[in-house]
Amino acid sequence: MVKLSLRALVAASLLLVPTVQANLNATEACIQISKAISSSSEVFWPGSIHYGQDTHHWATSSSQLSACSVEPGTAEDVGKILQIVGSTRTPFSVKGGGHATNPGFSSSTGVHIALTRLNEVTYHAVNQTATVGAGLVWDDVYEGLEPHGVNVVGGRVTGVGVAGFTLGGGYSWLSNQYGLTVDNTLSYELVFPNGTVSLVDSSNPDLLFALKGSAYNNYGIVTRFNFKAYPQGQVWGGLLTATADQLDAVNEATLNFSNNVTDPKAQIITAYNFVLGEPGASILLFYDGPSPPAGIFDDFLAIKAFTKDVKTRSFLSLVQSSPSDATSNQRGAFHTVSLLEYTPALIDAIVNETRFLGPRLGLASATFLSYDVEPFLPSIFAKGTTKTASYPPSRAQSLLPLNLYFAWTFSAADETIRNAIVQSAEQITKVAVSEGQSISNAPLYSNYAIDSTPKDKIFGENLSMLQILKAQYDPSGVMDLAGGWKFQ
């Protein structure tokens, strides 16, 4: 391994030569930006603390060294930045919470736009909506809304960005009750690629459809979201971890929950892990109320837990009880399978994947494999206040997105591990299909899918409409200079 990584270092330092030259050009654009923006905004250079924070990502493989970072403080300044990178054709990136695991989706070697200063949380009691800045992570939003006794449909674990999450779809602890985050997003403040700031709402149904679930940065940069808000009190739940000897009990509890529990306030995530040379499970329990009705979580509470932090608490405290930060700051990849149901054979196949791949990928510097089983109610796609959205591309059939996450140390292993996660998803798909699940063509969730996924596997029949709208709103291809799923 050491030999391999040394070779990778040499290769990387050779690659830096052309990158540095390209950056000279982007540095020009940075200087232009620093002259054009208002005093609410600021450009930061490599070596500064802000630059370090701005370019940081949850997965280290998602970061690149940009020529500068810029923190716009207003939508108008976002517009000026877009005009400059557009007219100079400078590669750029847009970062919300930095949780993308696909390399280059929110990083670049050019101008890195970090939205952190767009940090408003305003609750409008008059119509039960909340305005949320695009630079926030969900923790900030829950904290800001808690004093009002309300909440919005957002992320389930700590640190995830509002922007990418919402622009991709959004599976929440509240989704069984209210639908996905896109179903609860009423309007968007969007800066078009030409720099014009506008409000996109139901008066522009085409663009609203595109922004609801498929956009990322294709149509410009979103600076604010307006969400439907709901009353929120204390919740119950938290994290349980279990070692390999408890997996039978974990499997039984997970299957029973997934197939039998119909209370929309109840939810779980069972993450089958391989860590420190052993399979195991991390289980998050959630109930939207101070205590759950008798029975629902009994099987989970009967597991001989290795650690257990389950109690009545605030929504924010529950979100922060998750272990997601413990597995960050490594190279990382996500991928996904869209399932219709969980069966004993499917759970066995998932556990077998961890046992089979864990030791093998360990040799390639993998530190952590995780398969997150996220059962939702079959009615999940039918909830929400508005239903016209590009994710999911079809609501005919509710889907359960299984989230695969692999973490590793050395860049030399990128290809091996990224190939393995794709193969592992294929293996699970095969088992589900052999059991009669018609999922071979089921759309994959864009926020979980690896970047090699063909776009029609994600956006389905809506892809051509999304491409037509992209040509209409970004005729000079400004947004093609940034990473993400692209509709050019």
Ligand X SMILES: *[C@@H]1O[C@H](CO)[C@@H](O)[C@H](O)[C@H]1NC(C)=O
Ligand Y SMILES: Cc1cc2nc3c(=O)[nH]c(=O)nc-3n(C[C@H](O)[C@H](O)[C@H](O)COP(=O)(O)OP(=O)(O)OC[C@H]3O[C@@H](n4cnc5c(N)ncnc54)[C@H](O)[C@@H]3O)c2cc1C
Which residues of this chain interact with ligand X, rule CB under 6 A?
Answer: 25, 28-29, 88, 90, 124, 126-127, 129, 186, 192, 194, 196, 209, 255-256, 259-261, 295-296, 298-299, 349, 352-353, 356, 393-394, 427, 460-462, 465, 473
Residue type, position 39, single letter: S
Cβ distance to ligand Y smaller for residue 111 or 157: 157
Using CB under 6 A as the binding criterion, the count of chain residues that bind ligand Y stands at 34
Cβ distance to ligand Y smaller for residue 99 or 228: 99
3-state secondary structure 78-114: HHHHHHHHHHHCCCEEEECCCCCCCCCCCCCCCEEEE
**How big, in percent rounded to 5, are the helix, strand and coil portions of the chain?**
40, 25, 40
Instruction: State the Cα–Cα distance between residues 333 and 61, nearest whole angstrom.
Output: 9
Q: Closest approach of Cβ 427 to ligand X, in Å?
A: 4
User: Could you say whether residue 113 binds ligand Y (CB under 6 A)?
Assistant: no
User: Could you say whether residue 185 binds ligand Y (CB under 6 A)?
Assistant: no
Cβ distance to ligand X smaller for residue 33 or 318: 33
Q: Identify the CA nearest to 375 among candidates 341, 406, 348, 426.
A: 341
Structure tokens at 149: 């006794």
Q: Closest approach of Cβ 372 to ligand Y, in Å?
A: 9
Residue type, position 6, single letter: L
What would the DSSP string read from start to end of 254-284? HHHHHHH---TTEEEEEEEEEETTEEEEEEE
Instruction: State the Cα–Cα distance between residues 235 and 231, nearest whole angstrom.
Output: 12
User: Could you say whether residue 155 binds ligand Y (CB under 6 A)?
Assistant: yes
User: Could you say whether residue 375 binds ligand Y (CB under 6 A)?
Assistant: no
The correct pick among 164, 195, 279, 393 for binding ligand Y (CB under 6 A) is 164
Residues 260-299 vs ligand Y: string with x where CB under 6 A? Answer: ----------------------------------------
Handedness of CA 256, 258, 264, 265 (dihedral sign): positive
Is the CB of residue 49 less than 8 Å from the CB of residue 68? no
Instruction: Give the range of 141-149, 215-223, 358-366, 413-421 binding ligand Y by CB under 6 A.
Output: 215-223
Q: Closest approach of Cβ 435 to ligand Y, in Å?
A: 25
- Binding residues for ligand Y (CB under 6 A): 58, 94-100, 105-106, 115, 134, 155-157, 160-161, 163-165, 167-171, 216-217, 221-222, 324, 447, 482-484
